[in-house]
Structure formats: C-alpha cells, structure tokens
Structure 1
Amino acid sequence: MLALAGCAHRAPPSADSDWKQARQAVVVVTPDWNANHGTLRTYERTDGAWREVGTAQPVTVGRSGSAWGLGLHPGGLPGPTKEEGDGRSPAGVFGIGEAFGYAEKASTSLPYAAMQASHYCMDVSGSPLYNRIVDADTVGADAVAGSTEPMRLDLRKPGDQRYRLGFVIEHNPQARPNAGSCIFAHLWKQPGEATAGCTAMADPTMDRLLAWLRPEQHPVFVLMPDAQYRSLRAEWKLPALDGQP
C-alpha cells in the first residue's frame, strides 16, 4: 500500500514551524481563487535565504480554482475550504510524498511506486482507505469499490498519459472525511486543460522536478492565489516572487 500521508492528527502549526527544515520548494501561484491555471517556480534555501532555480513554467489546477486544504499550514484562514469533489486544488503548504508512474523505475530520488492495473486511489469518503493509494490485489476488490481514481488511466482510456509520471501532494494527511483526497502533481492531458483538483504540467517540467527533488531536503509544495501568497509570504518565510516585496 502506498500511503498518501500519515494517519496521526497534528496540532495546528504557527508560521513556518512545520516546514522550517525545507530546503526545496515547488511554488504554484494562481491569479485568484477561481483561476484554473498558474505559474510554477522552484526554489532552494541556503543559509536561510531562498533563491530561484530553473525557469517559471505554466501549470493547470482544479477546474474550479483552489481552496484552503489541510497540510502543514495553520487552519482557519479566510477564503474557501477544500471539499471532496469540488473541483478545486488544495491551497497552502504541503509535504511532497512518493512519486509514481507507469514504468518500473523513474529518474528520481523520491521513493517511487510502479502502478499496476490493480492500483486505485480511494476517493470514497468514509472508507477506511480514504486518501490512500492501494492495490486491490492486496486489500481486495470490495475494498476499492466506488473509487473513481484508477492509477493506470492508460489501461482504461487508451493513450491517457496523465499518471505516467507524478508525485503525491500530501493534502489531508489525517484523512478527514469529505476534505478532499488523491491530490497529485501529474502530467497534463493537453496544454491548458484543467484538472479535478490536482496540479498538471508538461512532461519536461515533471521530468525536471522529479530529477531535482531530494527527500533529505524536506521539499514542500506551495499553492496559493497571488493575493494570499503576497499577504502570507513574509510571515510564513516563503520565497519572494519576481517583483514581490
């Protein structure tokens, strides 16, 4: 079983307490809460200072935009809240979990799991396996009944390469019912096409991320609308964007 995140409930953190060890950050900023597209940038932190590495790239997010998710950041923030099936990508600061894909191996230092036809991500709220990638051959066919997230999309829709490569964005680690599940960074079906709540990108962008990310650097994934990012950046000790104070 590939766990999307740990099961333990955590106390609400303050400022950057839960990501102060992060030395790598993948940052996606969107125009506003309802935008289904954004810009991805990557940063490395040395001696307490963030510097941008690589070049900014376009990505797509949920078809309905974004909403505050459950991650490393404090809760209770003003704005929409992520719910199961709302078509929004979780906003906030999140750990980066395992990589996955169709091939047996991938060029990445992240833990990697090869997906088979029997792998599903459980998006059925109330299931004991909610927000987990599981193998039906291990947990049983009844346990994955109702899941709408088969991990081998290419075997159900010929040519669908969206999950050919990707990694887990650790939203809702406590598997809170109806709070949203199965949030990934993955390939886009075609440029500019929005997602059901994930972040999608071009193949070269994903290739670069997977080659660059290092678990020992405690990487984080950050997604927010521009206004919210601008407001919280200094307090949360996040990277400054071009032109931001």
Structure 2
Amino acid sequence: MSPRDLVLTPRGLRFAGRLWPCSIGRGGVTGQKREGDGATPSGTHRVVGMVYRPDRIPRPAHWSRPIGPRDLWCDDPRHPAYNRPVRAPFGASHETLRRADPLYDLVLIVDWNLTAPVPGGGSAIFIHEWRRPGYPTEGCIALERKDLHEIAGRIRPGTRLIVP
C-alpha cells in the first residue's frame, strides 16, 4: 500500500499519513455487494471521477466536472444505463446528483461495478459528505465536509480506495 491510497480501517479512512473519520454503509462491508443492501463493497477500487456543485463550492481540482441540474445516476438494474451517469428526463430509477442537501456538493466517483456493470451488483458507490458523524450511508463512504474537500484536493484520477 502507498501513502497515496485511501484505506478503510475500523477507525476511519487512512490517507496521506492521517486517519480521517468516516461513515460506511448501514450494511457494513461485504464481498457480495447487491443493489439496495446498504453495504460498502470490499476490494481495491479506483477513484475515476470527481463532480461538484459549482453553485455552492469552487472547483475542487482541475480534473473535476460540474454537476448540472439534469445530472442523474441510474440505479435500475433492468436498464441498459445501470450504474452510469444519465440526464433528466429519465424514466428509470435513479439518484439525483444535484441534491437539495449538501451530501453531493462534492462527490468522488469510485469504479465499483462501473466498467462492465453486473445488473443488481450495486450502483452509485461514491465518497461524499456525511449527514453527521457515524450516520451510515447506503453503501458509500462519507466524510466530514472539510476532510472531503482536503482529500479531494490531494488525490488524482486512479487513486486507489482499499476496502478490506
């Protein structure tokens, strides 16, 4: 492991010689990820994208992309765009990336089930802001806002996320 890796530990997310408090999925960590199970998938993943709300925060990194009003993420296992970004209007089940709350003001996109999505294998696995300390996610990893922004400014595309 490299100090440039993001490594989930029982005490937080280790990165750049520090331990950052985080929350994980309400279903814990699993090696058998399924859509809707609320679990964070184990394995070695890569951060493959970064999106942000330009109406709320400055651009966090040169490689980040703004979230527009029509940006969504398909979470319908029966749809060909499963676990992919899509645009409104979109009739299948999806997550809205431009949320009213601040959870997705800055999102690091993880490559879980992304390259050749397995229907039902889990979608929208992100690193994003937490609701509050210790509050579980639906399978993502969540951090305090200032910590997320600091990490986002220091990582690069391809940074590894290791979830034992």
Taking structure 2 as the reference length, the TM-score comes to 0.90
1:152 maps to 2:105: no
Amino acid at match of 2:68: Q
Alignment: residue pair count: 161
Query: Which segments of 5 or more consecutive residues in structure 2 lack a partner in the other structure?
Result: none
1:182-219 deviations in Å (ceiling 9; x for gaps) = 1100001122111001000001211111111123xx41
Q: CA deviation at 1:23?
A: 7.6
Change (3 A) 1:129 1:23: farther
Higher relative contact order (CA 8 A, sep 6+): 2
Amino acid at match of 1:150: T
Structure-2 residue corresponding to 1:125: 77
Maintained 8 Å contact 2:3/2:17: no
Q: 1:27 and 1:97 mapped to 2: Cα distance?
A: 16
Structure-2 residue corresponding to 1:165: 106
SS in 1 for 2:152: helix
Q: 2:99 and 2:93 mapped to 1: Cα distance?
A: 13
More helix by share: 1
1:106 maps to 2:59: yes
SS in 2 for 1:212: coil
Query: Which segments of 5 or more consecutive residues in structure 1 lack a partner in the other structure?
Result: 1-19, 31-37, 43-52, 69-80, 155-159, 225-245
Structure-1 residue corresponding to 2:42: 91
Maintained 8 Å contact 1:101/1:115: yes
User: RMSD across aligned C-alpha pairs, in angstroms?
Assistant: 1.8
Match of 1:219 among 150, 159, 162: 159
What percentage of aligned pairs have identical amino acids?
27
Taking structure 1 as the reference length, the TM-score comes to 0.62
Give 1 or 2 for the bigger CA radius of gyration.
Answer: 1
Q: 1:113 and 1:153 mapped to 2: Cα distance?
A: 16
1:40 maps to 2:25: no
Write out the 4+ residue segments of structure 1 that deviate beyond 2 Å after TM superposition: none
